[in-house]
Structure 1
Amino acid sequence: MNSDAPLPPGSRVAIAGASGLIGSALARSLTADGHEVVRLVRRAPRGKNEVRWDPGEQRIDSAGLVGCAAVVNLAGAGVASRRWTDAYKQTIRSSRVLGTATLAEAIASLDEPPAVFVSGSAIGFYGDTGDRAVDETAPPGDGFLPALCVEWEEAAEPAQEAGVRTVFTRTGLVVAAGGGAWGRLFPLFKAGLGGRMGDGRQYWSYISLHDEVAAIRHVIDTASLSGPVNLTAPTPLTNAEITAAMGRVLHRPTLFTAPAPVLRAALGDMAGDILGSQRVLPARLLESGFAFAFPGIEETLRSALR
């Protein structure tokens, strides 16, 4: 792809993390448009469109990536899956850093590498930004998640050095009923048990699952994009504003609150990610002509519930 154009029909696209919330939606979207999705799996392959890999051992069957127009890395242990013990922090780190390094080295070893390597990252890169809006030009913040994101992105260096266009999709909070943070929030709010977290003044930078997938496909198709690209809706809102919107959309009261000390006691270090404020703007997506289908929170919530 030498110019900004959609993938040619029947293109091969490899996805690591194809069974996850975003990966499975991306695979469905690509398949619906006639593309061939190659899934990276940790077990014995069950067909020609599966490639075995072991990111922990940094092993992959590189031959399975031959002929791919794009490789998308969405693999990694769930950040919000459980309490952040020291051991689980190491699991989060190794699943991302080693997986990215494995893919980047495999891509670099190919005689004809893919045109683009989309390496998933997160807005955790920026740390707590308070009420200050940041875009891709902002430096990394302080703490576990920013340090992780820096190392995670640096692990893609072999692909970059091999001349492969590499994009770091720094994803925000994906709004979907079937998983992620909102997969847990929707049942609480539907039961009338939802409410703001902490003082509610912290910014949450969200994106609909539909726009997340569309943005990844836009990144694949847009040859002028490389480096970090924020995948967040254009208008981040405070937790209190999002809580109110949840109440309006679900027609439920939002009287409950989760005080900061309670969250810290229940979640440990992870509470910092919930109570922290990230006002992140998708500057490079908008500059490159991407149009959000669901830019506002109420339409985003309704799209997730449909």
Structure 2
Amino acid sequence: MITRRFSVALPVDAARAFAWHAQPGALPRLLPPWDRVRVRSRTGSLADGQVVLELSQGPLTLTWDARHDPSRYEADRQFVDTQASGPFAYWSHVHRIETGVGSRESGIGSRESGIGRRELGVGSGESGVADPTASCTLTDEVTWRLPLDPLSWPARPMVERVLRRMFAYRHWVTRADLSRHGQGPAMRIAITGATGLVGSALVPFLQGGGHDVVRLVRGTPRQGEHQWSPERGLVDPDRLGAVDAVIHLAGENVAGGRWTPAFKAKIRDSRVGPTQALARSLAALPVKPRVFISASAIGYYGNRGTEDLTEQSAPGQGFLADVCQEWEAAADPARAAGIRVVHPRFGIILDARGGALGKMRLPFSLGVGGRLASGEQYYSWVGMEDVLGSILFALTHDTIVGPMNVTSPHPVTNAEFTRTLGRVLHRPTIFPVPGFVLTTLFGEMAEAELLSSKRVLPAALTTAGYVFSHPRLEDALRFTLGRVEATPVA
């Protein structure tokens, strides 16, 4: 059998680090975005619980049944899971948390790119921990054996690489979340669009911080959910009770189809009317939320070439610009009721699970990716971790009011984006797509989304003191695509 240990210093005491792992959002947060893994079921606690995961690889789906070992459980110090059934002949994972900063810590970075801990946003210095008296060290010790060992030994290097990438990701997330969630008290937060790309990442992120998250759903609500209607807003607000914040993310995917008149109406109607209905519901509550975060997008600015665009810039022209203006104005009833309203204008969100990057992964991985048209148009992108971080920042900072550009401070041209993604994936990018092909295939959507140029800067966030986790494109891509590795300490 093979044993590997990976360690990371955490900027909190052992009890808090242990408690974070017990939160319902911790496990989903630790699942790498580049792998197709989902939690099928989870019961019990860290002491004696069971977790069943589904791992999809192409057409195949594997089930991993992990059980926590109560005989090896130590409160605030250690929990252990072992494989009851799954892809390994044997698997044991010891999660050990010790007070203070250990003498050895896994290196997190990428030799080939020169990416280190500072660039990955995990802090600088030897441990990244400012106060050793309020710190601890997390060590993950995994012991494993492959089926048909020793005949399966050629697969060992692949498994080792998977583990190095997985623990680089897990340790970054653990340290970053524990650092970020120290910014304010626990809140009760209601969220629409909780199953979308942003919502499905945001819910476990907030749960990991100890926040009580209520999913607002259109169908029959289950535990942890409350019903809302795009036409009427909140259904039975008395049953919902008081909430500190409402985050409104629901809306039709603008890249979900060709922009026929019917689909354009669907894009608009899924945003403007429901936002207004929800804002009116919040304004009518006897105990109003302190903040209403209602999504918007950088489509607000239209096609602006190389112009630097901040929240103070005038709106642009075109369908999306018009929709975004109506969308933001629809929150006026909440504003008039004295609720702080924030409009995160999301850029191109980079996450391996879906969105734009999810669609790019396959062609670029096959070596058939390339720039779009001239490639001179600016892409204002943002990594998912900074989407989550900026929303938390808006929740906890009363100075953030109105529009908030959620984009990296370093926008790039499409040509630079293409070259960088190819470099991260080790693939050529020599197949440009002519503009007329895009407009023929996608019509108006291609002009508005793929060929237009928006050089958007996050002035509101940076002025308020937000520090980006992944300000540079290559770092963000390597993080979400699993191209960063941790070095075992033993």
Q: Is the aligned partner of 1:296 residue 2:465?
A: no
Q: Is the aligned partner of 1:190 residue 2:365?
A: yes
Query: For the residues of structure 1 that align with 2:193 and 2:255, how far apart are their CA atoms?
Result: 16
Taking the TM superposition and a 5 Å limit, the aligned residue runs for 1:1-12 are 6-9=183-186, 11-12=187-188
Which residue of the partner structure matches residue 276 of structure 1? 452
Which residue of the partner structure matches residue 46 of structure 1? 222
Q: Is the aligned partner of 1:14 residue 2:190?
A: yes
Q: Secondary structure at the match of 2:371?
A: strand
Distance 1:102 1:189, change over 3 A: same
Distance 1:144 1:64, change over 3 A: farther
Query: For the residues of structure 2 that align with 1:66 and 1:172, how far apart are their CA atoms?
Result: 33
Q: Secondary structure at the match of 2:215?
A: strand
Distance 1:68 1:191, change over 3 A: same
When normalised by structure 2's length, the TM-score is: 0.60
Which residue of the partner structure matches residue 95 of structure 1? 270
Which residue of the partner structure matches residue 292 of structure 2? 117
Q: Secondary structure at the match of 1:197?
A: coil
Query: For the residues of structure 2 that align with 1:247 and 1:42, how far apart are their CA atoms?
Result: 40
Percent identity over paired residues: 46
Which residue of the partner structure matches residue 353 of structure 2? 178
Query: For the residues of structure 2 that align with 1:20 and 1:64, how far apart are their CA atoms?
Result: 25
When normalised by structure 1's length, the TM-score is: 0.96
Which residue of the partner structure matches residue 343 of structure 2? 168
**What is the CA distance between 1:159 and its match in structure 2?**
0.2
Query: For the residues of structure 2 that align with 1:65 and 1:251, how far apart are their CA atoms?
Result: 50
Query: For the residues of structure 1 that align with 2:477 and 2:240, how far apart are their CA atoms?
Result: 36
Query: For the residues of structure 2 that align with 1:191 and 1:31, how far apart are their CA atoms?
Result: 37
**What is the CA distance between 1:60 and its match in structure 2?**
2.4
**What is the CA distance between 1:34 and its match in structure 2?**
1.1
Which residue of the partner structure matches residue 228 of structure 1? 403
Query: For the residues of structure 1 that align with 2:240 and 2:461, how far apart are their CA atoms?
Result: 27
Query: For the residues of structure 1 that align with 2:279 and 2:233, how far apart are their CA atoms?
Result: 12
Which residue of the partner structure matches residue 421 of structure 2? 246
- Is contact 1:66-1:113 (8 Å) kept? no
Q: Secondary structure at the match of 2:244?
A: strand
- Is contact 1:208-1:303 (8 Å) kept? no
Give deviations 1:41-62, integer Å, cap 9, x for gaps: 1111112x2111221x334212
Query: For the residues of structure 1 that align with 2:274 and 2:246, how far apart are their CA atoms?
Result: 13
Which amino acid is the alignment partner of residue 183 of structure 1? G
- Is contact 1:104-1:159 (8 Å) kept? yes
Which residue of the partner structure matches residue 232 of structure 2? 58
**What is the CA distance between 1:200 and its match in structure 2?**
0.1
The alignment yields a C-alpha RMSD, in angstroms, of 1.1
Q: Name segments (4+ residues, structure 1) moved above 6 Å.
A: none
Which residue of the partner structure matches residue 81 of structure 2? none
Query: For the residues of structure 2 that align with 1:181 and 1:63, how far apart are their CA atoms?
Result: 39
Larger Rg: 2
Aligned length: 299
Between 63-72 and 243-252, report the one with greater CA deviation. Answer: 63-72
Which residue of the partner structure matches residue 129 of structure 2? none
Query: For the residues of structure 1 that align with 2:338 and 2:233, how far apart are their CA atoms?
Result: 22
**What is the CA distance between 1:33 and its match in structure 2?**
1.1
Which residue of the partner structure matches residue 149 of structure 1? 324
Unaligned runs of 5+ in 2: 1-181, 483-490
Give deviations 1:220-274, integer Å, cap 9, x for gaps: 1100110101000001000000000011100000011111100000001101121
Q: Secondary structure at the match of 1:192?
A: coil
Distance 1:241 1:124, change over 3 A: same
- Is contact 2:368-2:431 (8 Å) kept? yes
Query: For the residues of structure 1 that align with 2:468 and 2:329, how far apart are their CA atoms?
Result: 29
Query: For the residues of structure 1 that align with 2:263 and 2:232, how far apart are their CA atoms?
Result: 19
- Is contact 1:120-1:168 (8 Å) kept? yes
Query: For the residues of structure 2 that align with 1:216 and 1:42, how far apart are their CA atoms?
Result: 23
- Is contact 1:196-1:243 (8 Å) kept? yes
Query: For the residues of structure 2 that align with 1:304 and 1:18, how far apart are their CA atoms?
Result: 20
**What is the CA distance between 1:64 and its match in structure 2?**
4.7
**What is the CA distance between 1:197 and its match in structure 2?**
0.3
Query: For the residues of structure 2 that align with 1:245 and 1:37, how far apart are their CA atoms?
Result: 36
Query: For the residues of structure 2 that align with 1:7 and 1:103, how far apart are their CA atoms?
Result: 26
Unaligned runs of 5+ in 1: none
